[in-house]
Amino acid sequence: MKLEDIRRDYLKNRKSGLHREDMASSPFEQFSVWMEEAISAEFTADPTAMCLSTVNEHGAPSQRVVLLKHFDPDGFVFYTNLGSRKAKEIEANANVCLHFGWLPMERQVIIYGKAVKLSIAQATQYFMSRPKSSQLAAWTSHQSQPISSRKLLMQSFEQIKHRFSQGEVPLPSFWGGYRVVPTAIEFWQGGGDRLHDRFMYQYDDQQQWSIERLQP
């Protein structure tokens, strides 16, 4: 089959699309509802997975999938190696974009904002809640740096396991988190005949959220 022939229509499993009266006054409240529905939907794999887009000092974009670990009216939180490509690009340009692609539900959420580094205390609290194997992996990996083989990576992992075989694993100095403070959030619902429903929340000068419908 040719790629241009692959398509499907939306709105097959719902009686109507997304309407203005359906939208909560706060984008965080609306996101909470959609996130709960995504978690409850058995056919939606990795509902907390989000694509993080960053831009380097030359204006070249890059993307990767990270996991949302917390959200509230202050923003959306994820954790990473502070020496990684994403962290270096955020240091040069804090403007980022998050994308949740809940395609089995015919939904997308796009978040525009600035990434702010979390405090060491916040990063430590989350790091200590992770499984020990994940803690050890954080110590092992010099994220985004070249390595000659997986064998060498696993050897490093075993060395780290031996190093921290007793007691708690401390927070690495090169590991932390970011909070994406949004300036705009779009909610996208698939519609029939490619006439999708899109609503954009924008944070205005009066520090309030406005909502407007966007054309598909």
Collect all residues with Cβ–Cβ distance below 8 Å to 145 and sequence separation of at least 6: 83
**Token pair in block for residue 31:** 């996101």
Residue of 20, 163, 194, 213 marked catalytic? 194
3-state secondary structure 123-139: HHHHHCCCCHHHHHHHH
Q: Is 194 a catalytic residue?
A: yes
- H and E: helices and strands count for the chain: 5, 9
DSSP 165: S
Measured CA to CA in angstroms, residue 28 lies from 87, 158, 162, 203 at distances of: 25, 42, 43, 12
Rounded Cα–Cα distance for residues 28 and 18 (Å): 17
Could you give the residue numbers annotated as active site?
A: 194
